[in-house]
Amino acid sequence: MTFTRALSQVISVVTPLALAPLLLGWVNQVRAWLSNRKGPGILQPYRMLHKLFNKDSVMADTASSLFRFAPYAIFGCMLLANAIIPTLSTDLPLASAADAIALVGLLALARVFISLAAMDIGTAFGTLGARREMLVGFLAEPALLTVLFSASLNGKSTALATIVEAVVHRDFAIYPSLVFAGMAFTLVYLAENSRVPVDNPATHLELTMIHEAMILEYSGRHLALMEWAAALKLFAYSTLGIALFLPWGIGQRATPSSLLLSLPSLGLKLVVIGAVLALVETFSAKLRIFRVPEFLATSFLLGVIGMLTHILLGA
């Protein structure tokens, strides 16, 4: 019994680890299609990771120990975040270790580390990226919290597994507050994953980049870990969105077979989410950096209104 539980926990950690680059590849591929390009194929992120791991790591001679330690810490945080989110099943041994608030804390921890690492070398780009990342973060984090609070008011719990259970296995109910929460979450999702209206994952133009500016000094295996962590973050946010707004299909039991059963529905939802994300990115133009706080504040306030409607309408 404990063995199967442990095994299913391992599966639910390995699945994101393996699938995260695929999701990224899928989004990039759809973006390429939408802009009439052929695209590199959805397996490209794996090839890139393999290439980066094989390369020597070149590190600035002024880099401190924090700079070397940070990629592992960020990767670890993102992996743990994926383990916390009920992706395949709501009954996992690690699920009780952290609730929605702790998840946000974990993502914030990763953000602090990546910003600090960016400031470590002391180049103009790194500090610029770090400042912008913290700017995005200090508004996106409370926005995400309000979204999660709306959901937890509905589920009467901050435990993600209970929230999912409440929606899937209780009597069917429509939660109006989720309209606002969903809208707010979409904005946070775009901002936190360095997607187009806020940041552009494909750019290296100094005036616009945020995430890329921070990892500019990394190379080789450290860069590979950073890129993988970014893919894991996208995966975590996607599965979090699924858990909050489209949880049907997530298994209830912690057996390997039930986990495998919920895999197809997860895959299908991720395909749709990835395609929609690519569509949104293609259709929107990048915001000026001064407009970003407005964008995020809107998301934050939408989250607040979501909580408010829950209390007002009592549902």
Partner 1 sequence: MTELSIQLVNLFASFLLMLAFAMLAQRRVLTLINLYSLQGLTVVAATTVVAHMTHQEHLYYSAVLTLILKVFLIPWILHRLVKRLNVRWDVETLINIPSTMLVGIVLVVFAFNLALPISRLSSSVVPGTLGIALACVLLSFMMMIMRTKALPQVIGFLAMENALFFAATSATYGMPMVVELGIALDVLVGVFILGVFLFQIREQFESLDISHLENLKED
Partner 2 sequence: MLNIMTIDWVLWIIGAWIALGLLGIVALHKFALVARVFFPLGAVGGLILAYAAARALVSGRVESKQLALGLPSLPFHLRLDALSAFFLVIIGLASFGISIFAAGYFRNGEGTAPGLLCLEFHFFLASMALVLLADDAYSFMVAWESMALTSYFLVTANHRLPKIRAAGFLYLLIAHIGAIAILLCFGVLQANTGDYTFANMRAQNLSSFWASAAFLLAIFGFGAKAGILPLHIWLPEAHPAAPSPVSALMSGVMLKMAIYGLLRVCFDLLHLHIWWWGVVMLALGLITAIFGVVFAAVQVEMKRLLAYSSIENIGLLFAAMGLALLFRSYGMNALAALALTACLYHVAGHAFFKSLLFLTTGSVLHATGERNLGRLGGLIRFMPWVAWLALIGVLASSGLPPFSGFVSEWLLLQSFLFTPGLPQPFLNMLIPIATASIALTAALAGYAMVKFFGVIFLGQPREEKLSQAHDAGKFEKIGMGWLAILSIGLGVAPNSVIHLIDPVTRGLVGDGIAHNASANGWWLVTPTSIARASYGPLYFLFGVMAACAVAFVLVRLFYHARLRRSAPWGGGHPWRNSRMQDTAEGYGQPIRQIFEPFFHLERHLPKPEDTEPEYSVAVSDKFWEGIYMPIARATEYVSAKVGRLQQGRISIYLLYSFITLLVILLLVPTARR
The residues in 37-56 that bind partner 2, with binding defined as CB under 8 A, are: 53-54, 56
Establish if 179 lies at the interface with partner 2 (CB under 8 A). Answer: no
125 binds, options partner 2, partner 1, none, Cβ within 5 to 8 A by partner type: partner 2
Please count the other Cβ atoms lying within 10 Å of the Cβ belonging to residue 294: 12
179 binds, options partner 2, partner 1, none, Cβ within 5 to 8 A by partner type: partner 1
24 binds, options partner 1, partner 2, none, Cβ within 5 to 8 A by partner type: none
Shortest separation between residue 258's beta carbon and partner 2, angstroms: 20
**Whole-angstrom distance, CA of residue 176 vs CA of residue 156:** 15
Establish if 6 lies at the interface with partner 2 (CB under 8 A). Answer: no
Establish if 285 lies at the interface with partner 1 (CB under 8 A). Answer: no
Taking Cα atoms as reference points, which of 209, 213, 212, 218 lies closest to residue 67? 218
Phi (first) and psi of residue 304, to 5 degrees: -65, -45
Nearest CB to partner 1, comparing residues 9 and 177: 177
Nearest CB to partner 1, comparing residues 124 and 174: 174
What is the per-residue DSSP string for 113-147?
HHHHHHHHS--HHHHHHHHHHHHHHHHHHHHHHHH
Taking Cα atoms as reference points, which of 93, 49, 44 lies closest to residue 75? 49
83 binds, options partner 2, partner 1, none, Cβ within 5 to 8 A by partner type: partner 2
Shortest separation between residue 251's beta carbon and partner 2, angstroms: 18
Given a contact cutoff of 8 angstroms between Cβ atoms, the answer to whether 183 and 120 are in contact is no
